[in-house]
């Protein structure tokens, strides 16, 4: 059984549209500090696999606002819990000119303790943070050696005043081609979203792997 590692029920709802045979594993892995999602997800997948002893898929995502040099990015979860989504919108509104472009990124990291052609260790924009991520993994040499495969998805959009009741997190303030993610059904969101794109890539690879 494949475990979808997240504490976020919204992510699971979306993943279930791609992967029938998954179960949520509500495990809060250590989020190492990095300016890119890749090392965070890779580290999380190794840790979650060691915890579960069964195949795991970690989902790390973030909202990257162009005019804020990618903020909140890897800190999206912390910023949602502290400032809140509405405040992120108001910050963007007061500091940035329209069209306030942004991306949603998602990195899925798969680990099952077996060998396959793993993704080379992700290169971070900031070498020091990668070194820190590696340092964290070096706590356990066996864990560090576990192969991890990464699948990325991204979608471009704009930061707008909150609209819509669906989705979760930053969905109400992220508009893609005139519609916010919170105004879409989960099918519509999945068809174009960062997570949907990453899940489609993973689903294809995983189907071949388990044939």
Binding site for ligand ITT (CB under 6 A): 6-8, 11, 59-63, 76-77, 80, 167-171, 181, 193, 195
Judge whether 36 and 127 are in contact, CB under 8 Å: no
Shortest reach from residue 22's CB to Na ion, in Å: 18
180 binding partner (options Na ion, ligand ITT, none; Cβ < 5 to 8 Å by kind): none
Question: What's the sign of the alpha-carbon dihedral 51, 55, 60, 61?
Answer: negative
Q: Which is nearer to ligand ITT, 49 or 211 (CB)?
A: 49
CB of 22 to ligand ITT, least distance (A): 14
In the complex, which residue's CB is closest to ligand ITT?
Answer: 169
- Minimum distance of ligand ITT from residue 113's CB (angstroms): 21
Contacting positions for Na ion (CB under 5 A)? 77
To the nearest 10°, the Cα dihedral for 137, 9, 207, 144? 0
Of 36, 60, 112, 171, which one is the catalytic site residue?
60
Q: Residue 60 catalytic?
A: yes
Structure-block tokens of residue 136 = 């964290």
For 11, the enclosing helix (H) or strand (E) is helix 9-15
54: left (phi over 0), alpha (psi -120 to 50) or beta: beta
């Amino acid at each position: 059984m494949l475990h979808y590692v997240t504490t976020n029920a919204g992510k699971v709802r979306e993943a279930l549209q791609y992967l029938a045979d998954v179960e949520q594993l509500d495990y809060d892995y250590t989020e190492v500090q990095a300016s890119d999602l890749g090392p965070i997800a890779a580290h999380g997948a190794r840790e979650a696999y060691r915890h579960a002893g069964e195949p795991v898929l970690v989902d790390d995502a973030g909202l990257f606002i162009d005019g804020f040099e990618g903020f909140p990015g890897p800190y999206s979860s912390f910023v949602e819990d502290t400032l809140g989504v509405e405040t992120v919108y108001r910050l963007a509104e007061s500091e940035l000119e329209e069209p306030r472009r942004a991306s949603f990124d998602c990195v899925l990291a798969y680990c099952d303790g077996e060998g396959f052609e793993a993704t080379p260790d992700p290169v971070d924009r900031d070498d020091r943070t990668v070194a820190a991520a590696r340092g964290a993994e070096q706590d356990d040499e066996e864990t560090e050696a576990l192969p991890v495969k990464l699948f990325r998805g991204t979608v471009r959009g704009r930061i707008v005043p909150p609209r819509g009741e669906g989705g979760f997190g930053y969905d109400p303030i992220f508009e893609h081609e005139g519609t916010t993610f919170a105004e879409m059904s989960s099918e519509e969101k999945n068809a174009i979203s960062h997570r949907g794109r990453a899940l489609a890539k993973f689903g294809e690879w995983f189907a071949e792997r388990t044939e």
